[in-house]
Structure 1
Amino acid sequence: MAPTRIPPVTAGIAAAVAVVLAAACWVFFPPETAGRALAGRPDVDLPLPWPAEGQSSAEVQNLGSLGSRGERGPVPIASVTKVMTAYVVLKDHPLGPDEAGPEITVDEQAEAESASAEESSAPVRAGRRFSERDLLALMLVPSGNNVARLLARWDAGSQDAFVAKMNREAAALGMTSTTYTGASGVEDSTTSTASDQLRLAREVMRNPVIRAIVATPSLRIDGVPGAVVNTNTLLGRDGVIGLKTGSSTAAGGALMWAARAGNGALILGVVLHQSPGGTPAAGLRAALDTSEKLIAAIQRELPAATR
């Protein structure tokens, strides 16, 4: 049988369609160059001082994306993990805005881990009872790893069972590049992207309990000596109202943040993998510094861009 011949006109149309489709794919799915993804097209295009390393993403709720920059592959996120831990605990054990919730007894493991010099912890004693809300505060404000794992055991019976819940919630939120392997973030194998964590920030800021806790610069909790101080030192500057820091040698510094614009609009952003490989303290300083510059620029540029 003779091969079927495509008429010249049909072939020309097919070629033109292929060119148009290829151009559309380039716009909506930009290519990567030397391992770094080119920036996607933002809904609101502002001249912003994006961090020169790592990855970052930001948006204005009810307005749209401000864009993303940097590498798109998953990286360690350290204690930013605790945002998902709080989200899962409150989904399983919801609290009203003014509710303290059930009392939870501190176990011996949480007390033993409170003396660790290797990770951030909260000073809790075995047998002491704290409300669910107070334990969420001890996890999110001073970033108590031992409290994150205590909450995981209380909620699911074991940390492994709780981690399975974390990953199910991440999948439900469309966080396709995220893997949780612990409740605290101390494991370098817990990885995510700035765009995935921005999805989570959008979701948790709908919860009044999380909003209130992460906006607290410091607090006092019965049974814990002294003031509990927030690791997010940007609170109260440039409209910042939360969210959560993270730092480790592998992760560098990380910050999920929320701020109010001058008109009251909610601005959300995530900065990951700042100065990795050094000390956690240096990485955290880098994440706070780059985020502060980014937030200040958004506050400055947004009014003119949205008039």
Structure 2
Amino acid sequence: MARTRIPPVAGGLAAAVAVALAAACWVAFPPEVAGRAIAARPAVALPVPWPAAGQASAEVQGLGSLGDHGEQRPVPIASVTKVMTAHVVLKDHPLGPDDAGPEITVDEQAEAESSSTGESTVPVRAGRRIGERDLLALMLVPSGNNIARLLARWDAGSQEAFTGKMNHEAAALGMAGTTYTGASGVEDSTTSTAADQLRLAREVMKNPVIRAITGTANLRVDGVPGTIVNTNTLLGREGVIGLKTGSSTAGGGALMWAAKARDGSLILGVVLQQNPGGTPAAGLRAALETSERLIAAIRRELPAATR
């Protein structure tokens, strides 16, 4: 069989195109070594105050990566886990932007766990019927661990079966450094990287229900006492419109965030391992403060960098 020869000019053009495509793929889908993603090359380099410790990742949608900071190794992510829980529940039981969803009966386990003093919970009574959307809000806004596990049992029959779904979805999203061992994040064995969680943030912000719930500063739910306040106190500041906090002794403070740039572009980011070993409250404060400085700098520097 005769071989077709590529003329020198065409061959050079093909090589140039191949190099350009490879560079673009590196930014959007960084390669992996030993199961861990190599840090993405930033599409735009900004002089921003990355955290002094821990790890972080950020991007501007439509523009690309702002880079990964710190060693992207799996660490406990605490209640940031609940973002994947919400994602899996809504994949299995989709809701329209204004849908309340099916009513779910609170079981005795969820009520018993309400009185736990060792984790974040929401007071609910067994036998009470609460809509899917309200339960998602009780999980994401005040970070109710007992509600996360209730939703897992409702969706998959057991938390263990639901966790399998979480890991399957993580693999589908290319989150190679992530392992989920529960629906709430209370287990230190649930670990991930900032780069992986940024992939998840990119996916869940496509869902109007998650966007609306995580952007709610406070709410009331029938049958649940008092006003429920969002643990993400950055909402409404520096353009922040969501997403989810996390804190534990082992993991320190964590925050997955979404913010609007001054031109309306969506900025997404994740900060992990802030003040690990301290109290969860101190870790959360550190994550919020670090994230606020980072977001403010990105919003300030982005216009000049993209002109």
Q: TM-score band (shorter)? A: 0.7 to 0.9
Say yes or no: does 1:236 pair with 2:236.
yes
Which runs of 5 or more structure 1 residues have no equivalent in the other structure?
Answer: 1-23, 31-36
Please report how far the alpha carbon of residue 71 of structure 1 lies from its aligned counterpart in structure 2 after TM superposition: 1.5
Question: Residue in 1 aligned with 2:130?
Answer: 130
CA distance in 2, matches of 1:184, 1:142: 12
SS in 1 for 2:67: strand
Say yes or no: does 1:163 pair with 2:163.
yes
Question: Residue in 1 aligned with 2:146?
Answer: 146
SS in 2 for 1:257: strand
> For the Cα contact (< 8 Å) 1:39–1:68, is it kept in 2?
yes
CA distance in 1, matches of 2:53, 2:38: 13
Question: Residue in 1 aligned with 2:214?
Answer: 214
> For the Cα contact (< 8 Å) 1:252–1:283, is it kept in 2?
yes
Please report how far the alpha carbon of residue 233 of structure 1 lies from its aligned counterpart in structure 2 after TM superposition: 0.2
Please report how far the alpha carbon of residue 151 of structure 1 lies from its aligned counterpart in structure 2 after TM superposition: 0.1
Q: Deviations over 1:164-211 (max 9, x none)?
A: 000000000000000000000000000000000000000000000000
CA distance in 1, matches of 2:241, 2:147: 23
CA distance in 2, matches of 1:272, 1:157: 31
Please report how far the alpha carbon of residue 72 of structure 1 lies from its aligned counterpart in structure 2 after TM superposition: 1.2
Please report how far the alpha carbon of residue 38 of structure 1 lies from its aligned counterpart in structure 2 after TM superposition: 9.5
Q: How many residues get paired?
A: 277
CA distance in 2, matches of 1:72, 1:232: 24
Question: Residue in 2 aligned with 1:46?
Answer: 46
CA distance in 2, matches of 1:294, 1:115: 37
Question: Residue in 2 aligned with 1:119?
Answer: 119
* Matched residue type, 1:59: E
* Matched residue type, 1:55: Q
Question: Residue in 1 aligned with 2:292?
Answer: 292
* Matched residue type, 1:157: G
Say yes or no: does 1:74 pair with 2:74.
yes
SS in 2 for 1:127: coil
Say yes or no: does 1:255 pair with 2:255.
yes
SS in 1 for 2:89: helix
Please report how far the alpha carbon of residue 41 of structure 1 lies from its aligned counterpart in structure 2 after TM superposition: 2.8
* Matched residue type, 2:100: A
Q: Deviations over 1:84-110 (max 9, x none)?
A: 000000000000000000000000000
Question: Residue in 1 aligned with 2:281?
Answer: 281
CA distance in 2, matches of 1:70, 1:104: 42
> For the Cα contact (< 8 Å) 1:170–1:178, is it kept in 2?
yes
CA distance in 2, matches of 1:243, 1:39: 23
Please report how far the alpha carbon of residue 73 of structure 1 lies from its aligned counterpart in structure 2 after TM superposition: 0.8
Q: Deviations over 1:199-224 (max 9, x none)?
A: 00000000000000000000011101
Please report how far the alpha carbon of residue 40 of structure 1 lies from its aligned counterpart in structure 2 after TM superposition: 4.8
CA distance in 2, matches of 1:58, 1:119: 29
Please report how far the alpha carbon of residue 39 of structure 1 lies from its aligned counterpart in structure 2 after TM superposition: 6.2
* Matched residue type, 2:97: P
* Matched residue type, 1:140: L
Q: Deviations over 1:231-265 (max 9, x none)?
A: 00000001000000000000000000000011110
RMSD over equivalenced CA pairs, Å: 1.8
CA distance in 2, matches of 1:72, 1:115: 36
CA distance in 2, matches of 1:71, 1:290: 17
Question: Residue in 1 aligned with 2:6?
Answer: none
CA distance in 2, matches of 1:72, 1:198: 12
Q: Deviations over 1:61-97 (max 9, x none)?
A: 0100000111111000000000000000000000000
CA distance in 2, matches of 1:278, 1:163: 28
Regions of 4+ moved over 3 Å: 37-40
